[in-house]
Amino acid sequence: MNKTAVSTKDYTHVKKAPFITITKRDATSLKRNILVRVIAIIAALVVSSVITLLITGENPIRLFSTVIDGAFGQFRIWGTAQSVAMLLGIALALTPAFKMKFWNTGGEGQVLIGALASALVMMTASSLPHWLACILVVLAGICAGAIWGIIPAVFKAYWKTNETLFTLMMNYVAIQLIKFFLKVADKSGSSTVGPSLLQYGRLPVIFEQQYMLNIIVVAVLTAMMYIYLRTSKHGYEIAVVGESENTAKYIGINVKKVIIRTMALSGALCGLIGVLLVGATSYSIDPNLAAGNGFTAIMVSWLAKFNPIIMIFTTLLIVVLSRGAENVSMTLGLNKSFSDILTGIILFFIIGCEFFINYKIHFNIAKKESKEVEFNGNN
């Protein structure tokens, strides 16, 4: 009947209906969406606490309260807010690229290169007025991040160079550049370049709260990214290119331009986070400045289905769990990597549960038997 259907459908028709068949779901109800995820998170928490129990022999209830304390305790709440802000910021930055189905695994490097550019300004801008230095710090970071994003985008747009691998490699180029900077800038051989060297153009501290600027910037960024993706013409183009390049061409979207523009934005926003980390937070730079958030952000954005508002919650989930686990390992005198294990386990569960949202599983017990009967009857 339909030739294209024949070509794309299975050629190896299975002899009998298999025991399990899996089909794609057309639509999922919101209820199911939430329910499956909640079950996954609960299952993940159960597994995590069993593992913690096995290793530490600690009472699970006390464990749980340690987690809560670790995330929201008096001395830790601001740290949590800061972690949320930074992770969310990077996730937001990566999101437009992901919506375009451009797998930007280079968030870490884009943050770091932005930080590096800012640090350079902060070290050298001695003769400039403070406000000008501040502007330069921000601009330098944003531009550096944008360049780090544009390079792989150009090659993707014109030569279809694999962007996942390209952006991944760019991370390590950035890391080594920072190491180089450390050697050159700080003759003492220290592993960070600290506040004593990064004097100029520090961004203002507002409300006398060190992390407040970061939090406000990321809050604004969240709202703006939501608006950008949902209501701007660019956002619409990104969605069309991501969904179907063919359709994009059909309506005359310049696909190459959109890819490069979007990656410039993605990189620039990562760079901005780098600016905040150096210019508003620590006034120091080291290769571990982004703390792997460039990678964690990929998961955060993906788990939120690229929705900036939901991203707030996925970020919270990850940060609370990892800071909580950090507290657990601290109070129990365990190594702090323990939190990475728990984060990993929880991610596995959330990643895996997508399947039960997107696919339907049929068990063909009755069908199978009836079909066999039919064959026997004919023979």
Binding to other proteins (CB under 8 A) within 308-337 occurs at 333-335, 337
Q: Does residue 29 interact with other proteins by CB under 8 A?
A: no
Q: Is 31 in the site for other proteins (CB under 8 A)?
A: no
- List the interface residues with other proteins, window 61-100 (CB under 8 A): none
Smaller CB separation from other proteins, 115 or 137: 115
Phi-psi region of 85 (alpha: psi -120 to 50; beta: other; left: phi over 0): alpha
352 near other proteins, judged by CB under 8 A: yes
* Beta bridge pairs of residue 89: none
Question: What is the spatial distance between Cα 374 and Cα 356, in angstroms, rounded to a whole number?
Answer: 33
Cα dist from 104 to 224, 294, 322, whole Å: 20, 10, 24
- Compute the distance between CA of residue 256 and CA of residue 274 in angstroms, rounded to an integer: 27
Question: Is residue 191 a contact residue for other proteins (CB under 8 A)?
Answer: no
Q: Quote the least distance from Cβ 280 to other proteins, whole Å.
A: 26
Q: Using the 8-state DSSP alphabet, how is residue 277 labeled? A: I
Q: Is 2 in the site for other proteins (CB under 8 A)?
A: yes
The nearest distance, CB 335 to other proteins, in angstroms, is 4
Which residues pair with residue 22 across a beta bridge?
361
- Tell me the closest approach of the beta carbon of residue 101 to other proteins, in angstroms: 11
Q: Which is closer to other proteins, CB of 135 or CB of 341?
A: 341
The window from 2-10, 58-66, 141-149, 262-270 that contacts other proteins (CB under 8 A) reads 2-10
> Considering the rule CB under 8 A, would residue 30 count as an interface residue with other proteins?
no
Per CB under 8 A, contacts with other proteins among 193-212 are none
Site map 236..275 versus other proteins, x via CB under 8 A: xx-xx--xx-xx-xxxxxx---------------------
Give whole-number Cα distances, 118 to 84, 91, 115, 200, in Å. 22, 21, 5, 10
Per CB under 8 A, the list member of 19, 313, 348, 363 interacting with other proteins is: 348
Rounded Cα distance between 136 and 139, Å, is: 5
Of 42, 359, 370, 372, the one binding other proteins by CB under 8 A: 359
Member of 39, 165, 365, 373 binding other proteins (CB under 8 A): 165
Q: Which C-beta is closer to other proteins: that of 283 or that of 349?
A: 349
13 binds other proteins (CB under 8 A): yes
Q: Do residues 330 and 73 lie in contact, with contact meaning Cβ atoms separated by under 8 Å?
A: no
Note whether 23 binds other proteins by CB under 8 A: yes
Closer CB to other proteins, residue 23 or residue 127? Answer: 23
- Segment lying near other proteins (by CB under 8 A), choices 22-30, 73-81, 257-265, 277-285: 22-30
Q: Given candidates 31, 75, 127, 160, which one binds other proteins under the rule CB under 8 A? A: 160
Burial of 344 (0-12, 13-18, 19+ CB in 10 A): exposed
- Binding of residue 231 to other proteins (CB under 8 A): yes
**Cα 40 to Cα 217: distance, rounded to the nearest angstrom:** 32
Mention every residue, 6+ apart, whose C-beta is less than 8 A from residue 346: 41, 44, 45, 48, 317, 318, 321
By CB under 8 A, tell whether 148 contacts other proteins: no
Q: Among residues 135, 192, 330, 354, which is the contact residue for other proteins, using CB under 8 A?
A: 354
Minimal distance in Å, beta carbon 71 to other proteins?
A: 18
Min dist CB 333 to other proteins, Å, is 7
**What Cα–Cα distance (Å) separates residue 110 from each residue in 120, 171, 217?**
15, 7, 18
CB 286 within 8 A of CB 111: no
CB-based burial, 364-379: b 16+ in 10 Å, e otherwise: eeeeeeeeeeeeeeee
Find out whether 262 and 102 touch, Cβ atoms under 8 Å. yes
Smallest separation, CB 188 to other proteins (Å): 13
